[in-house]
Amino acid sequence: MYSSIEIEWIKHLILDYLDRYFIENIELNKDRIYFATVDEFINGGPGFYILLYPNNSFVYPTKFREINVLDTVFTIGEKISEFQNLEENQYGFVKNSNSGFAPSWDFLSLVFPLLKGEYEKLIKQDHLGRVNQNLDNRPSELLLTPFFNEFIALLVATSYDGKLKVLNPVLKCPNVFLSHDCDLLIGNDYFTQLIRCYKVFSNLFKLNFSGAFIKFKYIILNLIDGKKYYLNSISYILKLEKKYGYRSSFYFLNGKIARYGARSNLKVIELAISLIPDGWDIGLHYNYNTLHSEVNFLQQKSQLESILSNIVFSGRAHYLKYSNIDDLLFYSRMGIKVDESTGYSERQGFRYGIGSPFTPFNVFSSKGDLVTIPLTFMDSNIVLSDFDKLVKHVSKIGGSISILFHNDLVNNPEYEIFLGLYEKLLQVLKINNFNYKLPSDLIK
């Protein structure tokens, strides 16, 4: 069963979520949200119940149902055996004899293992010490499902007793967190040019002469002007965001220079930071050698703070390098208030089953104050049709998404596949009335 601190944490997440995305005077009485066993619900009074159904195995469910309500499609779990004889409302909730409502499926078993990190701890790690995303056996459509958001939407709709055809009258605008990891600020550093040289010879070995010529061309072009598609892309990003009324966060990788570490010296980083106006956030891209090393982390953090003349409160791990969500407690102890590391680089969607900032369990139980913004999309994994569909869905149920787009890919012809993509994303967000949020907004 669930401990009292686990129940307290889940209730905190629910109430925090309701405050973020729903208007203040919704019908749902937040004081009447109860956690109860099936028997306690059946014999209980009026209110809204979240079932404490025994599930200690952390085996992720494999069977789901879809319901089409509120002008979109929701994915819910199977109806539990104890409720087989109870009639569901259109939102998948059942009713006791005293006008109390509960979901007909085991909501907690669906989201708790994801949010607490129990599910990811069952997955083997890759060669970088991260959860091996290719061994996460959830199919793509489930990764693209924000189960937590959908449950809250159905809960709120149930409180209106079927009077709402859509949720928009009681929803605040959905949010987007835009960010840019500034790994590469010049295109002619030793490691980047060495990688190009390798690809020249690799393509020649495969008799791919056009591929070899292209890489050789960019070796020469970056020797002539290494900033054109790297450092200068920051100005391009700012221009696009101003055009559509958005702002974003820039995360800078400083500290130890290495293949997996920083590639730019402090002078280049200072120049890049000077391009960013007030109103955009600047944070730390945790270097590869900093996880669980207090000395290395604080050295990197203080180095960036000396450039900014300000305290660094937000960040993201380079290569998204962390073993599981419990690692965020380390960042909390290092003074990070908002983390954006929690996502996959090659798979789009909701790794933790939620589209919203949230406090990890071990941070909450340790009385820390870090929140994480789960990464939904990254330049390397975005499928535009999925993005469009998901943005429309979130606009109808509430919540937020997070997008990472590296500065060196935004308008760089060497990586042709990404040209114009960032602007297309901003256009879709604008059409669907997404407001931007920044990490600094979460700590005000």
Q: What is the pLDDT of residue 56?
A: 53
Q: Assign 3-state DSSP to the chain and report helix, strand, coil percentages, each to 5.
A: 40, 15, 40
Quick check: 259 pLDDT over 80? Answer: no
Whether residue 163 is found in the same domain as residue 202: no
Whether residue 321 is found in the same domain as residue 430: yes
For position 293, which CATH number holds? Answer: 3.20.20.370
Quick check: 42 pLDDT over 70? Answer: yes
Whether residue 240 is found in the same domain as residue 251: yes
* Residue with tokens 């014999």, as numbered in its chain: 43
Residues whose CB is less than 8 angstroms from the CB of residue 105 and which lie 6 or more positions away in sequence, other chains included = 65, 76, 77, 78, 79, 80, 92
Q: What is the pLDDT of residue 59?
A: 58
Listing DSSP states for 335-376 in one string gives T-SEE---S-SSS-S-TTS-SS-B--HHHHHTT---EE----
Q: What percent of the chain has pLDDT over 90?
A: 91
What is the CA angle 383-175-132, rounded to 5?
45
Mean pLDDT of all residues in the chain? 95
Question: At 256, is the pLDDT very low, low, confident or very high (cuts 50, 70, 90)?
Answer: confident
pLDDT in tens, 406-417: 999 999 999 999
Quick check: 444 pLDDT over 80? Answer: no
Domains in the chain: how many in total? 3
Residue from 367, 378, 371, 345 nearest 356 by CA: 371
Residues whose CB is less than 8 angstroms from the CB of residue 194 and which lie 6 or more positions away in sequence, other chains included = none
Q: What is the pLDDT of residue 63?
A: 84
pLDDT in tens, 263-293: 899 999 999 999 999 999 999 999 999 999 9
* Residues 399 and 355 sit within 8 Å (Cβ to Cβ): yes
Range of the domain at 273: 175-186+227-442
* Residues 67 and 115 sit within 8 Å (Cβ to Cβ): no
Query: Which among 143, 170, 197 is the end of a domain?
Result: 170
**Which residue type, as a one-letter code, is found at position 368?**
G
Whether residue 88 is found in the same domain as residue 119: yes
Whether residue 161 is found in the same domain as residue 199: no
From its phi and psi, is residue 191 left (phi > 0), alpha (psi between -120 and 50) or beta? alpha
Buried residues in 168-179 as b, exposed as e (16+ CB within 10 A): eebbeebbbbbb
Q: What percent of the chain has pLDDT over 70?
A: 98
pLDDT in tens, 147-173: 999 999 999 999 999 899 999 999 999
Which 3 state secondary structure label does DSSP give 331?
Answer: helix
Distance between CA atoms of residues 119 and 138, nearest Å = 11
Question: At 54, is the pLDDT very low, low, confident or very high (cuts 50, 70, 90)?
Answer: confident
DSSP state of 123: S
Listing DSSP states for 137-199 in one string gives ---HHHHT--HHHHHHHHHHHHHTTT--SSSGGGBPPPEEEEEEEE--S-TTSHHHHHHHHHH
Q: What is the pLDDT of residue 58?
A: 54
pLDDT in tens, 316-330: 999 999 999 999 999
Whether residue 29 is found in the same domain as residue 133: yes
Whether residue 209 is found in the same domain as residue 275: no
Q: What is the pLDDT of residue 229?
A: 95
Residue from 371, 432, 402, 427 nearest 177 by CA: 402
Quick check: 68 pLDDT over 80? Answer: yes
- Beta pairing partners, 236: none
Whether residue 213 is found in the same domain as residue 239: no
Global confidence as pTM:
0.95
* Residues 287 and 281 sit within 8 Å (Cβ to Cβ): no
Whether residue 84 is found in the same domain as residue 123: yes
Whether residue 221 is found in the same domain as residue 295: no
Q: What is the pLDDT of residue 57?
A: 54
Whether residue 221 is found in the same domain as residue 232: no
Residues whose CB is less than 8 angstroms from the CB of residue 355 and which lie 6 or more positions away in sequence, other chains included = 146, 148, 149, 374, 376, 394, 399, 400, 401
Which 3 state secondary structure label does DSSP give 85?
Answer: coil
Whether residue 219 is found in the same domain as residue 250: no
Which 3 state secondary structure label does DSSP give 82?
Answer: helix
* Residues 250 and 274 sit within 8 Å (Cβ to Cβ): no
Distance between CA atoms of residues 224 and 218, nearest Å = 10
* Residues 142 and 75 sit within 8 Å (Cβ to Cβ): yes
* Residue with tokens 């028997």, as numbered in its chain: 39
Residue from 185, 327, 357, 163 nearest 263 by CA: 185
Residues whose CB is less than 8 angstroms from the CB of residue 408 and which lie 6 or more positions away in sequence, other chains included = 183, 184, 187, 229, 230, 233, 415
Per the structure block, which two tokens stand in for 39? 């028997």
